[in-house]
Amino acid sequence: MSVTAAQGFEASGVVAGLKSTGKPDVALVVNRGRRAAVAGVFTSNRAKAHPVIWSQQVVADGDARAVVLNSGGANCFTGPFGFQTTHLTAETVAEALDIGAGDVVVCSTGLIGVGDQTFRDKVIAGSQSAVVELSPTGGTAAATAIMTTDTHAKEAVVQGDGWVVGGMAKGAGMLAPGLATMLVVLTTDADVPAAKLHSALRSATHVTFDRLDSDGCMSTNDTVVLLASGESGITPDDDAFTRAVTALCADLAEQLQGDAEGASHDITIEVVGAVSEDEAVEVGRSLARSNLLMAAVFGNDPNWGRVLAAIGTTSAQFDPYDVDVSFNGVRLCAKGAPDRPVTDCDMSPRALRILLDLHAGPATATILTNDLTHDYVHENSAYSS
């Protein structure tokens, strides 16, 4: 039930006609609980969609009751009409729920530049229908409605000590870090104030969604929002709550990685022996964004030379001739030189782990990514057609 696993939440997913497939495309999550705390993390892309601009204002006071989401159109770069559409969407949901429009987070996903009167009419009508269809078991319907090129709904639940955190996510392309990397709604029935929600969410996204770098392309609409109903009546220890939120985000991030458009390998890049965590992240990201390395992985070629070439472009402190590189547990490079034949490494499994030891310090970081495939290029060459 994902977002409705926590007490006090209802959700729905309905067909509004935004998708040509006739599949659900408007979702709604509502907090009916005693508390209406919220925290949000948004794209750091300077090119922000209208729903992001609106929702940043909504979460600023730490209170929100609902999140309405549509797929089938990003409502980005649609001018004043687009922002008015976002505002009207919030007002429509607010009126139906008898709450203020300033307590409604709005999220959109899909093609940039879509935002005419037809789009508006369908979003508004869909939002009205979503209110009618709200249900304590509507989590999966909501998770299905926010899908775009996703092949399946993405949901997760983590049980606390008498409280729960649940969530749903969408994303299969344009996955790159910027505080958040897709549309994600998280809910909890723990009794947690907004400030602590914000702290836990920032901590969680920093080591999960921020480390998912599937194709190096940052979206204009990325949003992660966490709602707390307080219905369990339990206020968990701060560390325990942060661990639960982090585990939930990690689960959803891995689901997103596994559904990346056209990918044939799910790649975990583990950097150890770095001087600092930031440098470990920089090094790991340089591998994730190396088209040459990702193409080699697609071809089942453990080309560790491309690893060294990529990390040499970073500002991280290390000696390139003191670096070890392993693919799936087989060390192919030791101290910047061949260690054993590349034929010793089996690249055929979908899961691939690249371990890079810089031998420069105590810090580590892990980046999740995917290979570069023909299917990915095809999917994104015809996305708007």
For residue 231, pLDDT over 70 is answered with yes
Give, for 287, the enclosing helix (H) or strand (E): helix 277-288
Identity of the residue numbered 22: G
Confidence of residue 178 (pLDDT cuts 50, 70, 90): low
The answer for residues whose C-beta is within 8 angstroms of residue 43's C-beta and 6 or more apart is 52, 178, 179, 180, 218, 219, 220, 221, 222, 223
Confidence of residue 384 (pLDDT cuts 50, 70, 90): low
Average pLDDT score over the chain: 93
Question: Which position among 4, 78, 181, 246 bears the catalytic label?
Answer: 181
Strand pairing of 66-71 and 223-228? unpaired
Map out the domains of the chain with their CATH numbers. 2-258 (3.60.70.12), 266-381 (3.10.20.340)
Helix (H, G, I), strand (E, B) or coil at 66: strand
Confidence of residue 163 (pLDDT cuts 50, 70, 90): very high
For residue 92, pLDDT over 70 is answered with yes
Identity of the residue numbered 276: S
For residue 30, pLDDT over 70 is answered with yes
pLDDT in tens, 297-316: 999 999 999 999 999 999 99
For residue 256, pLDDT over 50 is answered with yes
Highest mean pLDDT among 131-140, 176-185, 253-262, 371-380: 131-140
For residue 175, pLDDT over 60 is answered with no
Q: What is the mean pLDDT of residues 259-284?
A: 94
Sign of the torsion angle spanned by Cα atoms 48, 49, 52, 58 = positive
Q: What is the pTM of this model?
A: 0.92
Q: Supply the Cα-derived Rg of the chain in whole angstroms.
A: 21
Helix (H, G, I), strand (E, B) or coil at 45: coil
Q: What is the pLDDT of residue 383?
A: 57
Burial 8-36 (b: 16+ CB within 10 A, else e): bbbbbbbbbbbbeeeebbbbbbbbbbebb
Q: What are the beta bridge partners of residue 104?
A: 66
For residue 174, pLDDT over 50 is answered with no
The reply to whether 78 belongs to the active site is no
The answer for residues whose C-beta is within 8 angstroms of residue 202's C-beta and 6 or more apart is 41
Q: What is the mean pLDDT of residues 187-207?
A: 97
d(CA 291, CA 306): 10
* Distances 269 to 173, 273, 301, 306, 356 between C-alpha atoms, Å: 19, 13, 16, 14, 8
Q: What is the pLDDT of residue 120?
A: 97
For residue 191, pLDDT over 70 is answered with yes
> What is the number of other CB atoms lying within 10 angstroms of the CB of residue 233?
12
CB 163 within 8 A of CB 201: no
